[in-house]
Structure 1
Amino acid sequence: MQDWLVVAMRTLLAIVVLFIMTKLLGKRQVSQLSLFEYITGITVGSLAAYIPLEVDGAWYLGVTSLCVWVLVSLGIEFMQMKSKKFRDVMDGVAKVVIKDGKILEDNLKKERMTTDELLELLRSKNVFKTADVEFAVLEPSGQLNVLVTKENSPLTPKNLGIKVAPEQEPQTVVMDGKMLDEPLATIGLNRSWLSTELEKKGVALENVFLGQVDSYGQLYIDLFDDQLMVPQPQEKALLLATLKKCEADLEMFSLSTKDQSGKKLYEQCSKQLEIVIKDVKPLLSR
């Protein structure tokens, strides 16, 4: 058999073996690698490259070495799941590098991190002053997790005492100009509803690059032609405006009528509607 054909066949074999073993090692083998996993990834890749090119030698020895590496890696992962101490030795432990706005230089030196590197990681978290940091933890993966002080934390509905309904996952109902039936069925809609919504916007289905429906049933679309602008859904804004108009009308009726019983009824309805508007405003304002 010719050498080029042997190399091609062994390359295909190496790809299959490498794929199977990578699946065995799990997803962490390609993201957030520990030191040992990093070494394993390099070694396994080198051995896989050795297998197809060793034409004259015992190429199967490369497969044997590859299997040993994978078995050792699986054994280490098993030990890590069973033992916290073993996990700390292999992966390392998280280190606090900032506490109460003060940089802990000793911990920074232990991690061999410079001040510039620390500031760069802080900027990636949108933090530009160390004084704004309650504490920052450097994870074994090298990521920096930051908790800013209360006065510098973003304002949330919870801080304002506002209850917000849970947001459901948006469903992609149009992709590359084609309707997707399964996402439509997931949110209880159908092709007829989608066609009607596209007709309201004056858009043909084949011109839609991407279409998504949010948890409130509003359709957002992106067209193939980036020069064309599609108006955003206004159903929620119109509903809020209608409710406020009804409240204003009730107050006007209350002021214009001379019938005391009718005036009292209008005032009660106006107050009840005001409570309803206050409750639904967080949902209709976003």
Structure 2
Amino acid sequence: MDYWLIAAKLVTAFIALWLMTRLLGKKEISQLTPFDFISSLMLSELVGNTIYDREAHYAMLLYALAVWMGLSLALEKIVQLLPWLSVPLSGRPDIVIRDGSVDERAMKRNKLDMHQIGMLLREQSVFSVKEVAYAIFEPNGSLSVMKKPNADTPTREELRLPDKPIEMPVILIDQGYMERDALQEIERDETWLKALLQEQGVERIRDVYYAEWSEAEGLHLQMKKRCGTVT
């Protein structure tokens, strides 16, 4: 009897979840807001506990699904009627890079570090902060990037120039901390980095918010706001 009850609950839950997805609209995983993600986790926990709990009768599953569907639809309608609720529920986009300069406050608000930003930029085929006019951190965790006009240059093939070796910039300093593994990767040491910083008029590594290095472009750095900005 338990097996038939579990099967009936599973079929009911499957149909109900499909119906809720159709009613609430289709969303890819990458489009889910934090609220959507938490809501889906709670729903899966609710359905799972109800299906395998012997004391949870079939009517309880139907009731739980109906209440959850009602709450979800009501919330969607409320947000449509009161658009100002969309920001506190879903979050707002936040500009984290402006004209090649990282916004420290926006980074702290969104609990981001430069390695995370670097990964999100590379997903947009951007390998250096210098190329970015604006980078907007979206509520779903993605990054929208607008390149600087001079970053969209013609290809070497279009200009009929010989091939140039491709090199990826390496992060050497992240929020005042030196990346020793990155230094080893480019076969340099702390003394070399300090000498390079001194050439830029920087005395202390902890005053640097972000620094990246490439053999072709050299050192690109941004000072912490209280110290001013150097590039």
Q: What TM-score comes out, normalization by structure 2 length?
A: 0.61
Which residue of structure 1 aligns with residue 31 of structure 2?
32
Letter in 2 for 1:44: L
Letter in 1 for 2:95: V
Which residue of structure 2 aligns with residue 246 of structure 1?
none
Q: Give ranges in structure 1 of 5+ residues lacking alignment.
A: 157-286
- Superposition pairs for residues 238-257 of structure 1, below 5 Å? none
1:3 aligns with 2:15: no
Shift of 1:86: 0.5
C-alpha distance after superposition, 1:133-177 (max 9, x if no partner): 111111111111111111111559xxxxxxxxxxxxxxxxxxxxx
Letter in 1 for 2:119: E
Which residue of structure 1 aligns with residue 133 of structure 2?
134
Shift of 1:79: 2.2
Local SS of the residue matching 1:108: helix
Shift of 1:35: 1.9
Which residue of structure 1 aligns with residue 102 of structure 2?
103
1:76 aligns with 2:79: no
RMSD, matched Cα = 2.0
The answer to whether the 8 A contact 1:40-1:69 is kept is: no
If you compute each CA radius of gyration, which structure gives the higher value, 1 or 2? 1
Asked which structure has the greater RCO (Cα within 8 Å, sep 6+), the reply is: 2
Which residue of structure 2 aligns with residue 112 of structure 1?
111
1:117 to 1:77, Cα distance in 2 relative to 1, 3 A: same
Shift of 1:51: 3.3
Q: What TM-score comes out, normalization by structure 1 length?
A: 0.50
- Superposition pairs for residues 45-194 of structure 1, below 5 Å? 45-153=44-152, 155=154
The answer to whether the 8 A contact 1:139-1:145 is kept is: yes
Q: Give ranges in structure 2 of 5+ residues lacking alignment.
A: 156-231
Shift of 1:30: 4.7
39-48 vs 98-107, which moves further: 39-48
C-alpha distance after superposition, 1:82-116 (max 9, x if no partner): 33310111111111111111100110110001111
Distance (Å, rounded) in 1 between the aligned partners of 2:36 and 2:72: 8
The answer to whether the 8 A contact 2:34-2:139 is kept is: no
Distance (Å, rounded) in 1 between the aligned partners of 2:56 and 2:138: 44
118-127 vs 45-54, which moves further: 45-54
Which residue of structure 1 aligns with residue 21 of structure 2?
22
Local SS of the residue matching 1:11: helix
Distance (Å, rounded) in 2 between the aligned partners of 1:55 and 1:109: 47
The answer to whether the 8 A contact 1:11-1:51 is kept is: no
C-alpha distance after superposition, 1:39-81 (max 9, x if no partner): 2111221222233323344342232122212211112222222
Local SS of the residue matching 1:145: strand
User: Identity across aligned pairs (percent)?
Assistant: 27
